[in-house]
Amino acid sequence: MDRSLQEKIFNRSVHVGVIGLGYVGLPLAVRFAEVGFQVTGIDMDQQKVDQANQGQSYIPDIPSSSLRALIEADRVHFTCDYAALENIDAVSICVPTPLRKTHDPDISYIMSATQQVREHLHPGQLIILESTTYPGTTEEIVLPELETTNLKVGTDFFLAFSPERIDPGNTEFSIANTPKIVGGVTPACTELTKAFYEQAIEQVIPVTSPRVAEMAKLLENTFRAVNIGLVNEIAIMCAKLRINVWEVISASATKPFGFMRFLPGPGLGGHCIPVDPHYLAWKLRTLDYTARFIELAAEINSSMPRYVVERVIDALNDQRRSLNGATILLLGVAYKRNVGDVRESPAIEIIQQLIARKAVVIYNDEYVPSLALPDRTLLSQPVSSGLLQAADCVVIVSDHSYYDVRWIIHEARRIVDTRNMTQNFSDEKIARL
């Protein structure tokens, strides 16, 4: 069975299925279609499916022109019907894995997708979980569900974990040139998964088990979360010591060894770094162990929006102005530069805290036309001289490349810069982290 599947992989006659068509799934589907595979994307969101089938990309990293070309060539198709799995040889599960409010992992999307795969599981099928999750999920949750079909892993079907490494907005590293880790339940599973991804990705790195691959993904993002937590605390320390933290970091970064440059900011955002460490911490709590570094970093990082608000209050105090009734303009609400993703964005917490203190909040973000809050929806306002001059304080939250920093500094009354966009300007109206 594995030789037959391997031959189909090498001659690219494998029919590829991708479950979940978000920031991970759609680029993956497009990549495999680009290298010559027949691809079916599955998602329960009818609007996404319709949009994709019309060649309209809702993911900034995927040009609509590229998607349309693949659809016209009949290389890719999208559906809400899981019955399509009947004719699919290799399935990648790319569904969300959010946190509950209690910071416990929510793997309901994985379980739902796995149940659908089980209903259509057939001999010779390769199943790969890409969704970030805690170590043990593939073997403890996915495998038992699939084995209820009486098909045997490593013989009848093949199962592996291969963590996604998508970085939205990154123009240097894409799916094609970002190394891919794969860990199969059996050696045959690993071998087939490696062969599969090698058709579309430049470098594939096999590891000995799904648990290693699951843990590797969590280490990557925990490493970032902990170091960002460290540099955020350093920023607070430097403010108290009246030292420019950005200058400190630049000076330290001149050391050619033993130092890695991390930058402070208004808080963590996105689909990975604020979430993934909590998966690991939760798993360790079930083993009666406290992941102290993770919890401390999370405490510091989650406190940064409050610290930004405090900096705004200080900036207003310099003008003898109260936050109550003040107009605050946020520049950028996306969690990072030049993307429209607001998942876990610190801007949302900053806005809610400002509103709670009776400030009037407006924002600009060309990537985010509207922003839904629990009790209201805000609309992005075009940046103009009038808007900048009307604001008692301008807060740079996302350092989008379209912002004309020199002009903003000239027009604004007071600026709190959380991203160091104003580093080349010296002006008393600017307050930095």
Spatial neighbors of 102 by CB under 8 A, at least 6 apart, are none
Gap between the Cα atoms of 210 and 150, Å rounded:
21
248 dihedral zone (left: phi>0; alpha: psi -120 to 50; beta): alpha
Gap between the Cα atoms of 412 and 279, Å rounded:
42
Q: Which of 431, 432, 397 is nearest to 235 (CA)?
A: 432
Q: What angle do CA 189, 193, 198 make, to 5 degrees?
A: 150
Count of C-beta atoms within a 10 Å radius of residue 361: 20
Contact 380, 369 (CB under 8 A): yes
DSSP state of 323: S
For the chain, the farthest-separated pair of C-alpha atoms sits apart, in whole angstroms, at 76
272 assigned to active site: yes
- 180-184 and 157-161 as β-strands: parallel, antiparallel, unpaired? antiparallel
Gap between the Cα atoms of 381 and 332, Å rounded:
11
Task: Supply 229's token pair.
Answer: 């937590």
Q: Which of 94, 189, 238, 272 is catalytic?
A: 272
Task: Supply 128's token pair.
Answer: 């790969």
DSSP state of 152: P
Gap between the Cα atoms of 301 and 265, Å rounded:
9
One-character DSSP codes across 267-282 = ---SSSTTTHHHHHHH
Q: Report in angstroms the alpha-carbon separations of 225 from 29, 185, 272, 424, 428.
A: 29, 29, 10, 28, 32
For CA atoms 12, 6, 218, 177, give the dihedral sign: negative
Contact 316, 393 (CB under 8 A): yes
Q: Which of 196, 118, 194 is nearest to 157 (CA)?
A: 118
Query: Which residues are marked as active site?
Result: 272
